[in-house]
Structure 1
């Protein structure tokens, strides 16, 4: 990336998982993808993983991503190998200073960390070994630049709103590719608010933006009498 270009015009990596459920502390990785693109329009390097999670895939999760127990038993690899390889690949991007796009980062990154703890006796931080993931979360960015827009903000919703094609939603590779394109659009469309920051500055500000967004959601839950608690941590929830 030349000195005068912005982060969204340069190298980006993008990470996504498909899992057995939505509980980051208990659920397991079923598939994952990491895409790397050096610039808009450049070829994309793709890495993908299929894991045998060691537990049955619930009907609800299978209905979302379409991966069956039979598929992971026949073609999936041990979760220790998969989680370790993913962590090594993410650490390589961190050392290279390449921003990592992760839609709803506290979900995917926390779940990966818990898989490493569960299966490999390690952590994501241990694999990073001091290198910093420069995370770009389109969900946080969109909520910051368009705070009062009504409606849901799933990847499908954001792609529709920003005119990004999402072909094959709930496939890890397809979702990672859509999220990568989405942040390029977000950065360009909101250049003053987002695009002119360095990746390190953007990461730091997202930490504060997410915390503020979480406080607002918690206040809404409290007013409505809902018992749900909102975690303010980003991009990784601390282990209990």
Structure 2
């Protein structure tokens, strides 16, 4: 059976910001999708320990007061999300995450911040990123490439964008649709498609960097584009080597 017809482990975070090095987790979800079984979700709400900016609240709806009142300690949430993903990886299920570089890097930094053993120290997960796949199979399509954009393009229902469980399910559904439409992807084993995405993501990042470099007013952004996928290595780890 091809990888897209086996269970997928969807993953999504809603956060305090857009920098994976400094942002904190507000909500997170790990979902089991497909494989002929009902979809099931595990959801977490954290007190991030910092104020949630108004810009972030406008996206996912959680205020600082609400997260502090009803959220659980961040360290516990980070441990449980990391353990859940390690368990899914141990079962041979790929982690499906839209823009995986952001979510997996942020989870890694939160783990290090709170003294939790990081995911990539516990397991060697295979990752499926609908954004990377879509850019590979339909490189020149005009328009946006957000999860909402991909859901419209691949006819996937997304009722509650920026709710982590809904986004995780939608990411899985989009990945399934992409694979079902471009069947050559399904002929790759999980380790092969993971390895190919490492190369495709780098090529895509190089293209973005070059676009910034030649666009007036955006040249300074070129240096901020990271090539690594699905995890940006921690500077702490790099400095210790």
- Shorter-normalised TM range: over 0.9
Q: Counterpart in 2 of 1:85?
A: 80
Cα drift, residue 38 of structure 1: 4.6
Query: Which residue does 1:154 correspond to in 2?
Result: 146
**Per the alignment, in what secondary structure is the counterpart of residue 51 of structure 1?**
strand
Q: Secondary structure, in 3 states, of the residue corresponding to 2:220?
A: coil
**Counterpart residue number, 1:215:** 206
SS at match of 1:120: coil
The whole-number CA distance in structure 2 between the counterparts of 1:116 and 1:60 is 24
Structure 2 residue runs of 5 or longer lacking an equivalent are: 236-241
Root-mean-square deviation (CA, aligned residues, Å) is 1.1
Tell me the SS of whatever aligns to 1:13: strand
Verify: 1:12 aligned to 2:8, yes or no.
Answer: yes
CA distance in 1, matches of 2:177, 2:124: 24
Query: What does the per-residue CA deviation read over 1:190-219, in whole Å, with 9 as the maximum and x for residues that have no partner?
Result: 002x11111111100000000001111111
Residue 95 of structure 2 aligns with which residue? 100
Does the residue aligned with 1:30 lie in a helix, a strand or coil? strand
8 Å CA contact 1:84–1:120 kept in 2: the answer is: no
Runs of 4 or more off by more than 2 Å in structure 1?
A: 121-126
CA distance in 1: counterparts of 2:61 and 2:166, whole angstroms:
14
Cα separation, 2, equivalents of 1:223 and 1:70: 43
Secondary structure at the counterpart of residue 214 of structure 2: helix
Q: How many residues align?
A: 231
2:137 aligned partner: 145
- 1:56 correspondence with 2:47: no
